[in-house]
A and B are shown apart, each in its own frame.
Chain A
Amino acid sequence: MDNPQRYKIEEIVWHEFRTIVLLIVIVISQKVFLADVFGVSLNLLLLLVVLRTLIEPIVHIGRWALYGGIIYDGLSGAWLGMHSIGLILAVVTVFLLLARITSENWILPIVAVLIGSVVYYFCNALLLFALVGGFNVFTYVTIVFIPGLLVILVPALPVFLVLRWLRSMRRGELPLDVY
């Protein structure tokens, strides 16, 4: 059923502005504060977007993917929209494949990040392959994709538990885990 609650325009603008500011903080933090591990830094934006897909409405996370990707592009000198495409596709894929699994399952975040990362990096590789001369798929896989995937898998479960705990605090729920 559609949400009968109607928001005022200033509330919508304020909410979007707050989201964009939060995403700018996340993207800048990713660059400045998260040090490289073996030449690859943790993709915090991808991690948060994928994990929040498991516990939040997809439209809300879709906005995160769109805005966050464009901010990411603006700061990295990439073509605008490039990372948004990868993030949105990752969100949609994760949602379609894992929507039926309960978010209380501890394996879920690992699988979600795995799937999301594969889609995201595949999409980026495809666009780079099409537009950047000298792009080597094997090198991309061995130097970018695999280390990036390993690095992002490490904090997947702890971050997911924190996000789920924050959601529970907001809703006054008690977390129930399935092993």
Chain B
Amino acid sequence: MRDRSSFRGGVSYRRNALIIGAMLFVALVTFLLDTQGVLTPVRAYLTNGLNPLVSAVYGVNLQAGDFLAGSHDLQRVTQERDALRKENSDLKAQILRIPQIEIENMRLREQLRIEKTRPWQLIGANVSVQTLSDGRRVALVGVGSSSGIKVGMAVIARYQSSPPALVGVISVVNVDSASMTLIDDYSSVISVQVYHGTSVVRGVLHGSLQVNGVLQMNEIEREAEVAEGDSVVTAGLSRLYGPSLPNAAIPADVPVGIVKSVYVDGRSKVADVQPYINPELVNYVWIIHNDIK
């Protein structure tokens, strides 16, 4: 039978209540200190200490899964398939650039925009662990401030035959690791644009916590022409209007996804956007390390 006197009505009531109160107090103080950044080194130490353990267990789990699936017997076929996927991905990436270049050719800023196109410097990193936190879509990557990583940098990845596409934005930076908020996290807000024919339609892409990973593109002008199948890329407006803004390191024209459906909502339009990549499936990413000066 349970010790019912341990917290209420027993002799040790006050002692146990004090202990539980002290634990709650410790948790609260820890939380408040961490929100103020005081415990950032401690958190980094804890994260860096636990991540290798998680990665090792995760690796064992994946290997066991591969073994059970009989993938060792299909190694050659798998390699060929991976090569074809990579080739297919490169071709898709080239195709995605075509409508952008056509629009750029029609504008006076053609040359300037071409010079600005894809000045990406990439830093590769392993995704060590996805978030455990309920409802959050956060992942930890294995590079940090020692590699020049800063908050607000865009993170891209490639999965199977997808083009290199945005999967998240760096939100917290430690010395040797960093947290990235995935694009489907509910706090994710990114300025995006859609190339439709000869027009450019801008909006704001929100993470929506949807189970199927669909994002919502809001604040589209009601008269704007957006259709199913249009490509969605980053707009880079933060960089344009405020270099000091959190997302200012996100360059323009990073592929994000494809418009799945469009509907009118009051005075504006809303588009459901299917990301090119489910961010939770990637285990290796590249961080766009541009000089935002």
B30 is contacted by which of A38, A43, A55, A84 (Cβ under 8 Å)?
A: A84
Which of the residues B1, B24, B206 comes within 8 Å of A89, measured between beta carbons? B24
List residues of A (30-66) whose CB comes within 8 Å of B's CBs. Answer: 30-33, 38-40, 43, 54-59, 62-63, 65-66
- Chain A positions within 8 Å of B4 at CB level: 99-100
Query: Inside 8 A of B54's CB, which chain A residues have their CB?
Result: 28, 31-32, 75
| Bound-state Cα–Cα, A33 to B57, Å | 9
With A57-B3, A65-B23 in contact, is A78–B136 under 8 Å at CB? yes
Q: B135 near A: Cβ within 8 Å?
A: yes
Q: Which residues of B contact A70 (CB under 8 A)?
A: 27, 30, 46
Chain B residues, Cβ within 8 Å of A102? 1
Cβ–Cβ contact B19 & A32, under 8 A: no
Segment of B34-42, B142-150, B159-167, B231-239 in the binding face:
B34-42
Interface size on B (CB < 8 Å)? Answer: 60
A88–B20 contact, CB under 8 A? yes
Assuming A58-B16, A66-B23, is B28 touching A76 (CB within 8 A)?
Answer: no
Contact of A1 among B12, B35, B135, B179 (CB under 8 A): B12
Contact A75 B50 (CB under 8 A): yes
B23 and A63 form a contact (CB under 8 A): yes
**Do B132 and A72 have beta carbons less than 8 Å apart?**
yes
Check A77/B58 contact, CB under 8 A, given A59-B16, A103-B1.
no
What is the size category of the interface that chain A forms with chain B? Answer: 35 or more
Residues of the B chain whose Cβ atoms lie less than 8 Å from the Cβ of A27: 132
Q: A30-B132, A77-B131 are in contact. Are A139 and B7 (CB under 8 A)?
A: no
Residue on A nearest B39 in the bound complex, by CB: A80
A contact face: mostly helix, strand, loop, or mixed: helix
CB nearest to A54 among chain B residues:
B2
Q: A89 vs B208: C-alpha distance in the bound complex, in angstroms?
A: 28
Which of the residues A31, A43, A58, A135 comes within 8 Å of B130, measured between beta carbons?
A31
Query: Is B186 a contact partner of A139 (Cβ separation < 8 A)?
Result: yes
Contact between B211 and A143, CB atoms less than 8 A apart: yes
Q: Which residue of A lies closest to B16 (CB)?
A: A59
Most buried by A among B20, B43, B135, B188: B135
Q: Is B115 an interface residue (CB 8 A)?
A: no
Residues of A within 8 A of B15 (CB): 2
Minimum CB–CB distance for B45 against chain A, Å = 9
Q: Can you identify 22 A-B contacts, CB atoms within 8 angstroms?
A: A1-B11, A28-B53, A28-B57, A31-B58, A57-B6, A57-B16, A58-B20, A70-B30, A75-B51, A77-B139, A77-B179, A80-B33, A81-B31, A83-B133, A85-B24, A99-B8, A124-B134, A132-B186, A133-B189, A134-B189, A136-B186, A144-B209
Q: Taking beta carbons and an 8 Å cutoff, which residues of A are in contact with B?
A: 1-2, 24, 27-28, 30-33, 38-40, 43, 54-59, 62-63, 65-66, 69-85, 88-89, 91-92, 95-96, 99-100, 102-103, 121, 124, 127-128, 131-136, 139-140, 143-144, 148
